[in-house]
Structure 1
């Protein structure tokens, strides 16, 4: 079986990352590896270098990993992790957190390549809700 693109959800709150992960798993299926990297180690609001790195390692496949951050410092922390670990094949998506995660996971489930999965996440911002 060809490996699928993994997805990492980086949020300032663990509950947000876990909730979106649950939604994505229900919509895309269990085949797509999705990790939640939310909050700090002490349960607070913020982002965690260690949690992001762990999530990247847990979802890394030969197909790569798409990272979806929620707000400002989640982007900065993720960039630090990726800069420090150039061996991790990952793309940071500029996408809406929920809609982008769903679009990315559904696309990843089809076996699409990392650039296609990233494009699906980023294009989710163009979908009108009504």
Structure 2
């Protein structure tokens, strides 16, 4: 008889993200400490209830959002994960590439979650109205190698 393999807190968290729905957002309480901190290019909040509000807002403002998990590295109580976030906005499909730095407490709950992604490259320059000025501004800072 084989013993079932126990998933690590990181594996459980990433499985939740991979299958996140408007109904499962509330399960963040199973993965995040009550006073966990979350930061991304648009938000900086503390507390699992505030984190839930961010994901609730994501489902209200975007169409069919989903996370695709790629690489993961765990060292001690910290992890680094790369991902793709796909969603629709006003009928147009968008893809954002990013990474998360996660810190866990002794019980395996997330105490700090920091998302890293380039809002200008991954989102702003793809939007119809502000895209052109953002692309122009990025070109002004490019290093010309020729």
Q: TM-score, normalised by structure 1?
A: 0.27
Higher relative contact order (CA 8 A, sep 6+): 1
Q: TM-score, normalised by structure 2?
A: 0.25
Higher strand share: 2
